[in-house]
Amino acid sequence: MLSGIFFPNKASNSILTSSGTSSFNSAILSSQYYNYEINYINLSLEIGNVGINTSSPTVALGVQGKGLATGGFATGGPDIAEVINVSDSTIGAGDVLVADEKPVTARKSSRPFDTSVLGIVSTDPGFTMFPKDSMSQNRTVMKNERLLALAGRVPVKATAENGNIMPGDLLTTSSKKGYAMKCEIKEIDDNDNFETLKMKTKNNEKCRNSIIGKSLENCNQEECRILASVSLQ
């Protein structure tokens, strides 16, 4: 196992010098020279954790402070999620959530075109965000919490109760608990009479105020699980 405290060594013109031993439980990276540029660092650890500005990392990579990556990140899932409290223990991945009466809490959706919609429970998020006041390196999702997708692509439970769903269709809440349905914007025609125009305008307003995202797959059954792109409105 590789471990120790590493820092730039100007005197010997070397990139890193270890002041530790070879048998600790973790590796600690610490820079004492603000103007010293390190072009390349490669640490290979068979066992243990890596800590930056922390002497006791409890996860594979523990960082105290801000980070910057110019090349991007490779993650496990294609969405960003945050932790949110839920009022129902049966809520699971793919469920559509709306705001609960209790502050900062969510529940399953249960009526069409619900303007209090919050989004979809993530299945396998690439990035997970926790509240700052409860953040720690070993923070996990509690029993009364779920991961709510904020952006990206996630599986969602869907129903064809408002018509068959096709890729590109807008999605909104349905009467089926926790399920999304098609949300169609009606095109306004110059030849529409007053009643038709009134009906279309009302439908379009309901739809625009309760959009979850866009479907990326088909659904022509009472119950489906399809991929959706999250874009709340």
Domain-located, residue 153? yes
**What integer pLDDT is reported at residue 31 of this predicted model?**
47
Do 34 and 129 belong together in one domain? no
DSSP state of 37: P
Instruction: Supply the range of the domain harboring residue 113.
Output: 79-230
What is the amino acid identity at position 107?
Answer: R
Do 84 and 58 belong together in one domain? no
Give per-10-residue mean pLDDT for the chain (233 aa): 46 44 42 43 57 74 77 81 93 97 95 96 89 65 91 96 96 97 86 83 87 96 95 82
Burial of residue 46 (CB within 10 Å: 0-12, 13-18, 19+) is exposed
Domain-located, residue 74? no
User: pLDDT tens digit string along 217-231?
Assistant: 999 999 999 999 998
Element (H, E) at 148: strand 145-158
Domain-located, residue 73? no
Do 125 and 199 belong together in one domain? yes
Residue 133 in 3-state DSSP?
helix
How many structural domains comprise the chain? 2
Q: Are 220 and 142 in contact (CB under 8 A)?
A: no
Do 9 and 120 belong together in one domain? no
Residue bearing tokens 């797959």: 217
User: pLDDT tens digit string along 62-108?
Assistant: 777 777 777 777 777 888 899 999 999 999 999 999 999 999 999 99
Tokens of 130: 């926790």
Strand pairing class (127-129; 26-29): unpaired
Residue 227 pairs in a beta bridge with 155
Do 107 and 54 belong together in one domain? no
Q: What are phi and psi of 210, to 5 degrees?
A: -140, 25
Domain-located, residue 20? yes
Do 52 and 83 belong together in one domain? no
* CA quadruple 84, 87, 91, 97: dihedral sign: negative
Q: Are 203 and 186 in contact (CB under 8 A)?
A: yes
Between the alpha carbon of residue 121 and those of residues 1, 16, 18, 148, 193, the distances in Å are 38, 44, 44, 5, 42
Q: Are 7 and 30 in contact (CB under 8 A)?
A: yes
**What integer pLDDT is reported at residue 175 of this predicted model?**
96
Do 55 and 92 belong together in one domain? no
DSSP assignment of 44-65 equals: --SSSEEEES-S---SSEEE-S
Do 206 and 125 belong together in one domain? yes
- Residues 6 or more apart whose CB falls under 8 angstroms from that of 142 comprise none
User: Residue 21 and residue 174: Cα distance in Å, rounded?
Assistant: 60
Do 207 and 110 belong together in one domain? yes
DSSP state of 22: S
Do 23 and 131 belong together in one domain? no
Ramachandran bin of 5, using left for φ above 0, alpha for ψ from -120 to 50, beta for the remaining angles: beta
Domain-located, residue 193? yes
